[in-house]
Amino acid sequence: MRVTSRYWAVTAIVGVVVAWAIVLEQAILLVGATGMAAWLLVRQYRFMRGVNVTIGQITINLELDRSRVVAEETSVGTLHVRSERPAGLSVRVAVSPPTGATGENIACVLGPDQNLTQAGFDVTWPIAGRFEFDAPAITVRDSLGLFRQSTTGGPTPSVTVEPRTPRDIHVGEGGSRLSAGFGEHEGGRTGTGLTPAEVRRYTPGDTFRRIDWKATARLDEPHIREFEAEQDYKTLLVVDHRATMGAGPTGRRKLDFARQVALALIESTRELGDPLACYTVGDEGVTNAFRSSSDDDQYRAVARTLRTLEPTTTDESGNGIGSQSGTQVLNPGEAGRTAQLLSGKTDFENRLRPFFEDAEQYVQRIVDEPLFGALRVASTTLDGGARTIIISDDEHRTELLEAVKSARGGDGHVVAFITPSVLYDSRTLAEIDDAYRRYTEFEAFRRQLAAVSRVSAYEVGPTDRLTTVLAAGKAERRAKQ
């Protein structure tokens, strides 16, 4: 309990009256001062008892029209304060928007003779994330404003703010949209499942329990019925959110498109019941790591993390902090060809040649790259035959190529979803001829990835920009004919 300025004013009056009573030797004044002091003590006692009763009988509700919104949207809420009966005390309930949201503080005042009050408010959510309201602040005052008691209580609703997402997402190859669902997979193996797969001849070592007697009678020799093996495909999802993934306008950045693909893949994996592991990669390395699991909590946790994922920050030069993207890494073939071109006739060539001939330097530089390093760590937690899904852009092509090759380990399969930088460049439509050239270079790189055994590679981007770039390419070809 705290006393207010009014209390101190009354106390000062009592002190003055006592002083005058002593100076004037008037007992009546002393009796009056004593009465005022007693009155204050009684008011204080009654207030302390009333506070507990009042707080115990009020109900606070903080209602929001939605628990999930999209960034930059505004939600509407209502604060209700109800008392079982008028308490004779004034109750003020205040709520502030969560940190990261914008809006005015809202307060309801329940008067001494009231038992219901409410107030509406608006909250705008400029950034993605999960936000929780603090418990409402409750302040109780007596009717004369002499005392007050502050506490907190009531609901603390949360709001999940999802990033603005693009709707015209293209996923495909060379401008052609992918027709099948990109999260599906087939078993591709036979074993002891329940779905019949094929009939084959009996071979020594096969168990008699697997003999198909109808086929044996029909074909006049022992045959075995094979079944499709029931198995879960372990899926490793690696999402790149380095600074380069921030290219593009708000709500239509590389990461915004990549995020939608990743969320669709998570949902597909959940429906199939496949164990899911996920790693997110920033400019300095792994930023989030989820071990393989098929629990529903795992799918939800990964999806929640991806919804709030943002590109890592950049330094003054525009490169990601900790990024090595400014260095050009040659693959072994390119390095070898460059070494052959360096004849060694000059001192400069003699100094450069050992660098290109030394494969160890190449390997070390690739290992130091964030995406490759993350995949190397993640691969140690998965068995052979796992499906690895990489979502990245084409800004680190050599690293991505080597990462894809490395992720295939055993008999695993790799699917790469790549956001072509040209489709997110603000200059794309202004320099359309150059954009088509850059797109064809990207397409050559995508095909190079897809040519690697057990690797599929797809482009991810805005449909409208891709259509414009491809139309420019067709017009250029017709002009040359």
Q: Which two tokens stand for residue 391?
A: 């979502």
User: Which is higher by pLDDT, 229 or 310?
Assistant: 310
pLDDT higher than threshold 90 for residue 241: yes
pLDDT score for 207 = 64
CA distances in angstroms from 8 to 50, 126, 345, listed in the order given: 21, 45, 97
Q: How far apart are CA 36 and CA 251, in angstroms?
A: 67
At 323, the pLDDT band (50, 70, 90 cuts) reads very low
Share of the chain above pLDDT 90, in %: 24
Per the CB < 8 A criterion, the answer to whether 111 and 145 are in contact is no
pLDDT higher than threshold 50 for residue 242: yes
pLDDT score for 383 = 64
pLDDT score for 2 = 80
Angle formed by the axes of helices 397-407 and 359-367, to 10°?
90
pLDDT score for 41 = 87
Average pLDDT over every residue of 229-237: 70
pLDDT higher than threshold 50 for residue 92: yes
Instruction: Report which of 349, 370, 368 is spatially closest to residue 286, judged by C-alpha positions.
Output: 370
pLDDT higher than threshold 90 for residue 247: yes
pLDDT score for 444 = 94
What's the 3-state SS for the chain? CEECHHHHHHHHHHHHHHHHHHHHCCHHHHHHHHHHHHHHHHHHHHHHHHHHHHHHHEEEEEEECCCEEECCEEEEEEEEEEECCCCCCEEEEEECCCCCCECCCEEEEECCCCCEEEEEEEEEECCCEEEECCCCEEEEECCCCCEEEEEECCCCCEEEEECCCCCCEEEEECCEECCCCCCCCCCCCEECCCEEEEEEECCCCCCHHHECHHHHHHHCCCEEEEEECCCCCCEEEEEECCHHHHCCCCCCCHHHHHHHHHHHHHHHHHHHCCCEEEEEEECCEEEEEEEEECCHHHHHHHHHHHHCCCCCCECCCCCECCCCCCCCCCCHHHHHHHHHHCCCCCHHHHHHHHHHHCHHHHHHHHHCCHHHHHHHHHHCCCCCCCEEEEEEECCCHHHHHHHHHHHCCCCCEEEEEEECHHHHCCCCCCCHHHHHHHHHHHHHHHHHHHCCCCEEEEEEEEHHHHHHHHHHHHHHHHHHC
- CB-count exposure of residue 403 (10 Å: 0-12, 13-18, 19+): buried
- CB-count exposure of residue 103 (10 Å: 0-12, 13-18, 19+): middle
pLDDT higher than threshold 50 for residue 189: no
At 351, the pLDDT band (50, 70, 90 cuts) reads low
At 278, the pLDDT band (50, 70, 90 cuts) reads very high
CA distances in angstroms from 74 to 12, 58, 64, 118, 128, listed in the order given: 50, 29, 11, 20, 13
- Residue holding tokens 């909590």? 297
pLDDT per position as a tens digit, 15-62: 888 888 888 877 888 888 888 888 888 888 888 888 888 888 888 999
Average pLDDT over every residue of 335-354: 54
pLDDT higher than threshold 80 for residue 465: yes
pLDDT higher than threshold 90 for residue 395: yes
pLDDT higher than threshold 80 for residue 97: yes
Average pLDDT over every residue of 163-187: 72
pTM of the predicted model, to two decimals?
Answer: 0.59
pLDDT score for 191 = 43
pLDDT score for 450 = 92
User: Which is higher by pLDDT, 329 or 156?
Assistant: 156
Q: How far apart are CA 196 and CA 235, in angstroms?
A: 26
Torsions phi, psi of 433, nearest 5? -65, -45
- CB-count exposure of residue 426 (10 Å: 0-12, 13-18, 19+): exposed
pLDDT higher than threshold 60 for residue 71: yes
pLDDT score for 373 = 86
**What is the residue-averaged pLDDT of the chain?**
80
- CB-count exposure of residue 373 (10 Å: 0-12, 13-18, 19+): middle
pLDDT score for 182 = 53
- Residue holding tokens 């903080």? 62
pLDDT per position as a tens digit, 137-160: 999 888 888 888 888 888 899 998
pLDDT higher than threshold 60 for residue 303: yes
Identify any residues that bridge with 276 across adjacent strands, giving them in sequence order: 235, 293
Average pLDDT over every residue of 174-194: 56
